[in-house]
A and B are shown apart, each in its own frame.
Chain A
Amino acid sequence: MIEYTAQAVIVGGGATGVGILRDLSMRGISVILFELGDLAHGTSSRFHGLLHSGARYAVKDPASAAECAQENAILKKIAPNCIDDCGGWFVQTEDDDSVYTEKWLIKCQEAGISVREIPVAEAYAKEPLLKRKAVRIFEVPDAAVDGFKLVWANAKSAKRYGGEYKTYHQVERLLRDGDRIIGVSGRISGTGEGFVAHSNIVINAAGAWAPHLVGTVGISLEILCDKGALLAFNQRLFQRVINHLRQPGDGDIFVPHETITILGTTSEFVDSPEENRPTVDEVYKLLSQGEELLPEIQYHRVIRAFAGVRPLYQEEEDDRSEEKRASLANINKAVIENDVYVKAGDEVKVGDEGREVSRNFAIIDHKFEQGVEGLLSIAGGKFTTYRLMAEKASDWVACQLGNQTPCRTAIESLQPEISPDLYQQALKLLPWGAADKMLERLGSEAAIVLGEIQADPRKGQMLCECELVSVAEVQHAVIDKDAHCLSDVRRKTRLGMGTCQGAFCSYRAFPLLGQNREKYAPLREELRNFLNQRWKGIRPVLWGQQLRETELTRAIYSDLLRF
């Protein structure tokens, strides 16, 4: 049994969890985070990677829109290495309602979102693939954000401030002493070893998994699991984010990421966060909706489909009662009295579709709800506002602990600046695109990788030719103590995420895995798991070029290598 002690424990290693980890660590609070899998393995990587300008929510959810607008500007400043500030367009087609457009323009202005109209002819010249049905086009400060990178950047920044995170640590229960939560206990996946952590405060940031955690002490938390499926195309179809200017719906956002494009999203309530398998029906839905903006969409190569589960916070029906409203007001009041502002998830509408539920977030102090002290749940929200959610949760924690240090996450860059020397060295040893991407992923750690290449130029070869990842960088990820399987390596390097979907690069990882046999499963098993995991996303999009690629992959592994 391993024992940990900290002032605060965070459960959940998604964007919110690591955001809180960083925030509290920067305030000098000792904190440890437990994550049941790898960081960002859940919802924080299973989305379109759109850094909202707020424009999408302007009409329906003005409060969210305004938050997004502010956070968008902050994140571009503090995390430029995780963000491609490509901008975004909202495209009104001849089938769309111009009344909505007018309303949207007003609402954007109210939310402080800058909007600039682009002449249609100019737009077609800049985005030649865009369907020739546009009537009006508006530019907004949307951007593309890399969920994996941002989550890891937060975790690493937190670590520099003394924060700790433990992956593959599954928290099984909350430890309770009377009315107080005094820590958590759980088990390490793989080894099965138990652990216990003692703390003054536990923060439940488990996202879609949050109800399960508080359920262990008999608290019910209503989180709606809203599954969203997405498609990844093998090239950059558009240079910027393309939104359909209409009531937000399925398949109306294209987000370019490095060499690929993601089309999202569907929305369907599911029973559990584990239901993240994209279905053929969802794929067809996305194709037919995406066609509104991208003609002949079926001839563009789709490399995979994937799905995430959005944790939408919903107050229970009886929360609507006056009594509960009063108690909700009390939370706010109680906290405000402590000079901290906590926003509760207000304005909840219940409908058939997940989009009817506010994308606002809620911070629930279980003392007021259930009389349990030292336990905070954070629910709802979205990736773009993760920092704000973390700030509010951390304000609450700091207040509980009597810590007066103000939040600095909005002003301090997530990654130490890359020195010009390091940049020059990278450019000398690697092709330009590969050097740039590596520096974005690794920051100052890139020095280690470059040192390896300098010592042995063979390690500068591109192991992953789709995503331009060098042998040395994959090796660096393979020996990282946070990597336990090839999928962990993938999340850090993008290995297997390009066009070949692992056909060539996973083979090339063999010698590196072979050198670290004590950490990994036998090669065959490791590869089987990795290819199966990739297969999950390929299966529903198995046509055209990707089907041909799949036949090649089968030829290699089933026939040539006899796996």
Chain B
Amino acid sequence: MWDGVIIGGGLAGLIAGIRASENGKKILIVSAGVGSLTYASGTLDFGEFSVLLGKENHPFSVMGEETTRQAFEYFLRILPDYDGKWGKKNSVLTPLGELRRSDLTPRFLAAGPLNAAKQIILVAPEAPKDFFPDVFKRNLEKHFPVAHIIVKPLRADGFELHYRQGRSIPGTDYARYWNSKNGIKELQAFLTGLEREIRKGNSDIVSQETDSFKDTVVIFPGLSAGLSYSLQDLLAQVPFPVIETTLFPPSPGGRSLEDNLKRKFKAMGGELLIGCKALRAEIKDGICQSIAVESKGKELNIQARSFVLAGGGILGGGIQVTPYACQEALCNLPLYVPPEWTKEEFIGEQPYARIGVEADFNLNPIDDQGNVLLKNTYICGRMLAHWDPWTEHCGGGVSLASGYLAGGKI
């Protein structure tokens, strides 16, 4: 008998698992896939928090400010390599070189140093998949009209064969290389060379006085250094600021966050069952007794005292939609289904995104009268109704806060 079984290995599920394990509970995470974190950029956003807090039924308003804030602080405690201060936003670069706001960001992602930069050097690793230095540079020029912007190409030894064959290199592959032994060595040589160029100047780069390197900022996309000790050490030795950008999925930032959370969870004794789909739940007297899980071609019956539904809503597969019905896939809980499904304009609000299970302040699922339907089951992240991470820009925030809250209830 587990203390808690969590369905879903994304951000909410992992946070719930880590917190409950920290409390000494025996936790199993069952996940049909690998979660959606690699699609995300690795930053955690809370949107216009005060506005969302005032929105009736919004998960932030259901959980309350105190809980959300505690979750924020908790995240910084378990991942101190993230930057963030409650109520204060950082700017980060989008994959196209524009700016957006965020709340919790991996170290080296905050774009603040660019504001004071007189010279911005954009390092452009050769043949990057889904990263366009020209477009990026044009957008930088718009946002930082005063700065002199230089694109500095970089060919990595480790990918020579790829280049010759004309193959592009995904950001996740570059990140893995920069974090490898050879990659770090090459990176070090490159940055030393760059330092020399900045000191002396060349046809593109304006020479800087030795003690005012701060005028120059280097953008290095896809290092994913925020959670890597060896890269942090390396960048700490460089005399000019190096910042990163968020990247198009699959993103190294998201993957690095996922890897770290999984490691933490396992280190605390948690167990992960990935690639195993939860099929159905056995429910008696308002209590979820056990779930059936598909594992290596056979069914496992898993019992637990508590359950967390963190299956990622529509994108994650925890909510299934056919032409004829919408269903919460495991416990068949009633769903809030918006009366209107879509809007004519694609970009922006889409009502269907607010589909989900309604929950009380404990995250227990409730019916339309507010009665608790399952006393030992908690609803997290995208399984919750009444929010839209893509227009409210609060995906990471809601998943973090609800995972934190559910983890504490187990």
Is B249 among interface residues, defined by CB-CB distance under 8 A?
A: yes
Query: Of all chain A residues, which has the CB nearest B393?
Result: A559
Contact with A561, one of B39, B95, B167, B314 (Cβ below 8 angstroms): B95
Is B248 touching A298 in the complex (CB atoms < 8 A)? no
Also in contact, A561 and B346, with CB within 8 A (given A284-B323, A458-B166, A551-B315):
no
Within 8 A of A (CB), among B87-104: 94-96, 98, 100
Chain A interface helix/strand/loop/mixed? helix
Cα–Cα, bound, A551→B312 (Å): 11
Within 8 A of B (CB), among A231-249: none
Q: Given the complex, which residues of A lie within 8 Å of B313, measured CB to CB? A: 551
**Distance (whole angstroms) from the CB of B354 to the closest CB of chain A:** 12
Is A195 among interface residues, defined by CB-CB distance under 8 A?
A: no
Is B132 among interface residues, defined by CB-CB distance under 8 A?
A: yes
Q: Given the complex, which residues of A lie within 8 Å of B212, measured CB to CB? A: none
Is A510 touching B166 in the complex (CB atoms < 8 A)? no
Is B94 touching A560 in the complex (CB atoms < 8 A)? yes
Cα–Cα, bound, A508→B138 (Å): 16
Cα–Cα, bound, A510→B249 (Å): 16
Also in contact, A562 and B127, with CB within 8 A (given A458-B168, A514-B134):
no
Is B347 touching A563 in the complex (CB atoms < 8 A)? yes
Also in contact, A562 and B134, with CB within 8 A (given A287-B323, A298-B323, A456-B166):
no
**Distance (whole angstroms) from the CB of A266 to the closest CB of chain B:** 16
Q: Given the complex, which residues of A lie within 8 Å of B248, measured CB to CB? A: 507, 556, 560
Is A406 among interface residues, defined by CB-CB distance under 8 A?
A: no
Is A510 touching B342 in the complex (CB atoms < 8 A)? no
Is A106 among interface residues, defined by CB-CB distance under 8 A?
A: no
Q: Given the complex, which residues of A lie within 8 Å of B348, measured CB to CB? A: 558
Is B34 among interface residues, defined by CB-CB distance under 8 A?
A: no
Query: Of all chain B residues, which has the CB nearest A551?
Result: B315
Is B166 touching A461 in the complex (CB atoms < 8 A)? yes
Within 8 A of B (CB), among A352-377: none
Is A457 touching B323 in the complex (CB atoms < 8 A)? no
Scan B295-318; emit 1 where CB is below 8 A from any A CB, else 0.
000000000000000000111010
Query: Of all chain B residues, which has the CB nearest A532?
Result: B346
Is B130 among interface residues, defined by CB-CB distance under 8 A?
A: yes
Query: Of all chain A residues, which has the CB nearest B249?
Result: A556
Can you spell out 17 A-B residue pairs with CB atoms less than 8 angstroms apart? A284-B323, A457-B166, A458-B168, A507-B248, A531-B346, A532-B346, A534-B346, A542-B321, A543-B321, A543-B323, A548-B317, A554-B346, A554-B390, A556-B248, A558-B348, A559-B393, A560-B249
Query: Of all chain B residues, which has the CB nearest A283?
Result: B323
Query: Of all chain A residues, which has the CB nearest B382?
Result: A551
Is A558 touching B391 in the complex (CB atoms < 8 A)? yes
Q: Given the complex, which residues of A lie within 8 Å of B322, measured CB to CB? A: 298-299, 543-544
Is B341 among interface residues, defined by CB-CB distance under 8 A?
A: yes
- Chain B, interface size category, equals 35 or more
Cα–Cα, bound, A483→B197 (Å): 43
Is A542 touching B342 in the complex (CB atoms < 8 A)? yes
Within 8 A of A (CB), among B13-45: 39-41, 45
Is A270 among interface residues, defined by CB-CB distance under 8 A?
A: no
**Distance (whole angstroms) from the CB of A314 to the closest CB of chain B:** 33
Contact with B135, one of A287, A457, A511, A531 (Cβ below 8 angstroms): A511
Also in contact, A535 and B346, with CB within 8 A (given A507-B248, A560-B41):
yes
Query: Of all chain A residues, which has the CB nearest B320?
Result: A544
Scan A489-515; emit 1 where CB is below 8 A from any B CB, else 0.
000000000000000100110110011
Q: Given the complex, which residues of B lie within 8 Å of A543, measured CB to CB? A: 321-323
**Distance (whole angstroms) from the CB of B139 to the closest CB of chain A:** 9
Contact with A457, one of B164, B345, B391 (Cβ below 8 angstroms): B164
Q: Given the complex, which residues of B lie within 8 Å of A456, measured CB to CB? A: 166
Residue pairs across A and B with CB atoms within 8 Å: the count is 112
Is A542 touching B94 in the complex (CB atoms < 8 A)? no
Is B135 touching A547 in the complex (CB atoms < 8 A)? no
Cα–Cα, bound, A556→B130 (Å): 12
Also in contact, A511 and B132, with CB within 8 A (given A298-B323, A453-B166):
yes
Cα–Cα, bound, A542→B353 (Å): 12
**Distance (whole angstroms) from the CB of A161 to the closest CB of chain B:** 37
Contact with A514, one of B98, B138, B324 (Cβ below 8 angstroms): B138
Is B317 touching A558 in the complex (CB atoms < 8 A)? no
Query: Of all chain B residues, which has the CB nearest A299?
Result: B322
Q: Given the complex, which residues of B lie within 8 Å of A180, measured CB to CB? A: none
Closest 5 CB pairs of A and B: A457-B166, A535-B346, A558-B390, A551-B315, A511-B132
Is B240 among interface residues, defined by CB-CB distance under 8 A?
A: no
Is A408 among interface residues, defined by CB-CB distance under 8 A?
A: no
Also in contact, A457 and B314, with CB within 8 A (given A532-B346, A554-B353):
no
Cα–Cα, bound, A317→B98 (Å): 63
Cα–Cα, bound, A508→B350 (Å): 24
Is B95 touching A560 in the complex (CB atoms < 8 A)? yes
Query: Of all chain A residues, which has the CB nearest B325?
Result: A543
Is A460 among interface residues, defined by CB-CB distance under 8 A?
A: yes
Within 8 A of A (CB), among B162-177: 164-168
Cα–Cα, bound, A456→B341 (Å): 46
Is A341 among interface residues, defined by CB-CB distance under 8 A?
A: no
Within 8 A of A (CB), among B257-309: none
Is B144 among interface residues, defined by CB-CB distance under 8 A?
A: no
Q: Given the complex, which residues of A lie within 8 Å of B344, measured CB to CB? A: 532
Is B352 among interface residues, defined by CB-CB distance under 8 A?
A: yes
**Distance (whole angstroms) from the CB of B1 to the closest CB of chain A:** 34
Within 8 A of B (CB), among A508-548: 508, 510-511, 514-515, 523, 528, 531-532, 534-535, 539, 541-544, 547-548
**Distance (whole angstroms) from the CB of A537 to the closest CB of chain B:** 11
Cα–Cα, bound, A301→B41 (Å): 28
**Distance (whole angstroms) from the CB of A291 to the closest CB of chain B:** 11
Q: Given the complex, which residues of A lie within 8 Å of B45, measured CB to CB? A: 559
Q: Given the complex, which residues of A lie within 8 Å of B249, measured CB to CB? A: 552, 556, 560
Cα–Cα, bound, A558→B395 (Å): 12
Within 8 A of A (CB), among B337-381: 341-342, 344-348, 350, 352-353
Q: Given the complex, which residues of B lie within 8 Å of A459, measured CB to CB? A: 166
Is B127 touching A555 in the complex (CB atoms < 8 A)? no
Q: Given the complex, which residues of B lie within 8 Å of A561, measured CB to CB? A: 94-96, 98
